Structure 1
Amino acid sequence: MQNELDGKLLLNVYAKVEKNGKAVDTDHGAGFTLDGLTVSQGFDGYEVYFQSAKVQLTLGFHHKWHSDAQNEKDMDAFMELIRHINNQYS
């Protein structure tokens, strides 16, 4: 799974959610939501946040990421959502 998840993919999905999604307020400030994925960024732009129903993932400086997924099943569902948005939107 780690090989599937890279910074380039996440930033690409972030841009697609920003472009095609609906503006929302998040715990981190202004963000966007699309198909069950909410994205936002830190005040300095060095961290971006991705949140689904069960997983929050933070992408930080140098494309290091951290997830709070409770189990592999939740992370697999999160990855499926990432792939869905990446494949369905331009």
Structure 2
Amino acid sequence: MRNELDNKFLLQVFDKIRQFGDKKDDRYVLNGITAFTDMDGYTLFVEDPNVKLQYGFHNQYHYDYESDSDMEKFEKKLKEIDKEY
């Protein structure tokens, strides 16, 4: 996922977080991952305390993280959510 974001995977995980996560205001939280959209719904945000992923119009995306270790843990959490739900 690091080099090339699998948009189908991301959208699937985002949907699972919304379906099975706890809703807090306009955000959903599941297994330590928070998912939400901007006001118009065109940009998705998926994040944990150390990694932030912004996914938007025309499949453009941006990761914000400090260490590869944080990124690996984030990817693992996303895969766990996909597998468990």
Q: Do they superpose with TM above 0.5?
A: yes
TM-score for both structures, normalised by structure 2: 0.92
- Provide the rounded CA distance (Å) in 2 between the counterparts of 1:11 and 1:79: 14
TM-score for both structures, normalised by structure 1: 0.87
Per-residue CA deviations over 1:3-39 (Å, capped at 9, x if unaligned) read: 4x321111100100000010013xxxx0100000000
Identity of aligned residues (%): 32
Structure 1: gaps of 5 or more residues: none
RMSD of aligned residue pairs (Cα, Å): 1.0
For 2:81, give the aligned amino acid.
I
- Does 2:39 match 1:43? yes
Paired position in structure 1 for 2:74: 78
Provide the aligned length of Structure 1 versus Structure 2. 84
Structure 1 consecutive aligned stretches of length 4 or more whose deviation exceeds 6 Å: none
Structure 2: gaps of 5 or more residues: none
How many angstroms does 1:87 deviate by? 0.6
